[in-house]
Structures are given as C-alpha cells and as structure tokens.
Amino acid sequence: METVLVARCIFATQATPLLTMFNIILFGPPGSGKGTQSEMLIAKYGLIHLSTGDILRKEIAAGTPLGLEAKSIMDKGELVPDEVVIGMISSALEANPEAKGFLFDGFPRTTAQASALDKLLQLKGTEIGIVLALEVSEEELVKRLLNRGLTSGRSDDTNEVVITARIAEYRKKTSAVADYYQQFDKVKNIQGEGSVEEIFTLLSNEIDSRL
Ligand SMILES: Nc1ncnc2c1ncn2[C@@H]1O[C@H](COP(=O)(O)OP(=O)(O)O)[C@@H](O)[C@H]1O
Ligand SMILES: [Mg+2]
C-alpha cells in the first residue's frame, strides 16, 4: 500500500497516472471549448485525443475521396454520415491498443454514434467513464466561433449562417447524446464560461473524483 502511494506521489509531479483505462467524452456545442480543454486534459492524464473534426480536416487537407465528400457536408454546417465517423473511430481505437484511455472530442454527435461507440468499447473490455458537458450561451458561442474564424483557416467559422446552422444541428441531433448517457448517470454539466484555467480546474476535479 505504502509503495503504491509513494509511486503515485512521484508521478503526480509530472502527470496524473491512470491506473485503469479511463475514457472521457468532452461534450458541448461548437465553440464551447472542447478543443482547447482537450489539449490540456490529454497532457495531464496521458489520454489519446480523438477529435473526429480534426481527423476529417486532415482528410480534407490531404485531398482524399473521404475528405472531398466530407468538405461539402461540413461547409453547410451539417453532420457527416454516422457510418463514416464510426468507421474512423473504430480504426483509431484499433490503432492505439496500448492507450491508457481516450478523450473523445466532437464524437459521438448522434445517439446512433453513441450506441456504436459503447459497443466498440465493450469489445475492448472498457466503457465511457464520464461525459463532461460544457455549457456556454449561444451568444458567447457565436462570438467565439467568429473570433476563431479570424485565425483558424476554417471556412465554417467565418460565415455566421454556417455557424448558426451548426448550432441548430447540435440542438436537433447532438444534444440527445447527453440524454443517452444521462440514463447511465454518466453526465456532468460544467460551466463553460470563465477563464480557460478555471474551466480546466472544474474538469480536472470531476475526473479526479471518478478515478
Ligand atoms: N474559456 C474560454 N473563454 C473564451 N474563449 C474560449 C474559451 N475556451 C475556448 N475559447 C475560444 O473559443 C473558440 C472555440 O474553442 P474550441 O476549443 O475550438 O471549441 P470547440 O472545439 O468546442 O469547437 C476558440 O477560438 C477558443 O480560443
Ligand atoms: Mg473542436
């Protein structure tokens, strides 16, 4: 027992070690801070970051057939078909057999994706540990996304019509994902307005309480 505690203290000065696999969904509307907080969380907990948006944008940049198909959908602020993103996540899970845990960002975006993810994780003998849902007002979301559009190079961030369509798509199809995980008592709502550090502390405290 003592040895374990000492080992934990040594590790704690660098990163918080995960003793068993722990998987997190960072949930919230576009612009709620998922990407920002993900970078900090993966560094702290040694998780593998799986952002379907980032993977799709890489496909677009590489000019692959998948990227071409995805671009026309994403430019309208709509969701890429379930089977496409589920396939991407399935490959990413297979490509990281040694992972201590995964941080899902921007996925699942529909309840069909959520139940597919549960099945994929079950096959690996693991599950979602917690769904952290960032709450941000619509006014603040639009402000942040337009601001991100000034530097992100993302065409879907520069047009307010597309931004509004993405938020509407979130309310129509994605918010139900929180209800899906609520039935398993896995959702924790987090105040997503405030400084990046304040929000990071709230997220970390929730994770630490479940480890
Ligand atoms: N706590 C925060 N306060 C203000 N702006 C933030 C905060 N967190 C993120 N942002 C900004 O909001 C925009 C969207 O954040 P991002 O992390 O990309 O969101 P998401 O991945 O959920 O779409 C970015 O320009 C980012 O710099
Ligand atoms: Mg993002």
Q: Where are the domains of the chain?
A: 2-210
Residue nearest atom 2 in ligand 1 by C-alpha distance: 196
pLDDT above 80: residue 147: yes
Return the SS3 of 47. coil
Q: Residue 7 above 50 pLDDT? A: no
Query: Is 166 near ligand 1, meaning CB less than 6 Å away?
Result: no
User: What is the value of ipTM here, to two decimals?
Assistant: 0.88
- The closest ligand to the CA of 141 turns out to be 1
Instruction: Give me the amino acid identity at 86.
Output: I
Token digits of residue 173: 């199809």
pLDDT grade, residue 9 (50/70/90)?
very low
**Atom 8, ligand 1: residue with shortest CA distance:** 33
pLDDT tens for 104-123 read 999 999 999 999 999 999 99
Ligand 1 pocket member 23 (CB < 6 A): no
Q: Is the Cβ atom of 33 under 6 angstroms away from ligand 1?
A: yes
Mean pLDDT for 86-96 is 97
CA distance 211 to 49: 18
Shortest-distance atom of ligand 1 to CA 32: 22
Name the fold adopted by 2-210. Answer: Rossmann fold (3.40.50)
Looking at the CA of residue 38, tell me the nearest atom of ligand 1.
Answer: 17
Q: Is the CB of 29 under 6 A from ligand 1?
A: no
Predicted TM-score (pTM) of the model is 0.90
- Residue of minimum CA distance from atom 10 in ligand 1: 33
Which residue ranges make up the annotated binding site for AMP? Answer: 52, 57, 78-80, 106-109, 113, 154, 166
- Please write the tens of the pLDDT for every residue from 156-192: 999 999 999 999 999 999 999 999 999 999 999 999 9
